[in-house]
Structure 1
Amino acid sequence: MTSAATRRIDRAEAQAVLAAQPFSVLLGTRLAGFGDGTATLELDFRDDLLQQNGFLHGGVLSYAADNAITFAAGAAAGPEVLTAGFTIDYLRPARGAVLRARAEVVRAGRTRVVVRCDLTVHPADGGPGMLCAVAQGTVSVAGG
């Protein structure tokens, strides 16, 4: 649903964008999937990212949702996108080894893109993930 004038970006360019974000580098965020209106970001749990009860801090979950939402929008609408707003619902405390934020475009318009994101936590042994939060966001397309 993007216009023909929209410049698509590939995974290599998306990876370069992630690497250019100092906060993402600080957190050790990885681009695990990208393309066709989807994006998946991952980061490892670390002690300095936990809150006082030993769960991954909600701010880290929000960061992951926000960034995955914007990357998914970029996969559909090109590189000139900015978060306009998002909501997040925390479903259960995030405890595990890896956080995965998978976002998918719901609708890509000329000026706005709506995206959903599931955040799951995964054990160190690579076992199945558990849903810990869901988010939905609206992303503005510059020049749209």
Structure 2
Amino acid sequence: MVKYQNANPGDSLDRIFAALADPTRRAMLARLSEQHDLPVSTLAEPFAMSLPAVMKHLDVLSGAGLITRSKTGRTVACRLSAGPMEEALAWLTRYQRFWTEQLDRLAAFVEEDACPKSPASPSSGGSTRRPPKSSPRGPTRRK
């Protein structure tokens, strides 16, 4: 598991995407989006891993700002914090616009190139001769 030591503001996107890269953490976020304030033990139930392993995943999610934890007595509950996802979405949207424009330009180019500007000229007579087939394979080495 990757741990980020620097606390530079530019690293927040790195932490968000690193947290979202793991399918277990994405599944945890999906559960938290359906049910608010889930206790850690309830959140860990569907996963075939130890509680310390679950806690490490929660540490990564918490470090990325994607969840918050609150403690009531001995119970620690987790809640989804969607703010950092908005930052990631804004970053992705910029590239979505770029690729949409590029693909639109490509589609326009292909459509323009596919339409012939003048009618095709008739064939100039006879057909062309096909090249001869290749010769049969030679002997192969046996092992």
For normalisation by structure 1, the TM-score amounts to 0.24
Higher Rg: 2
For normalisation by structure 2, the TM-score amounts to 0.24
Whose helix fraction is larger, Structure 1's or Structure 2's?
Answer: 2
Whose strand fraction is larger, Structure 1's or Structure 2's?
Answer: 1
> More relative contact order in 1 or in 2 (CA 8 Å, sep 6+)?
1
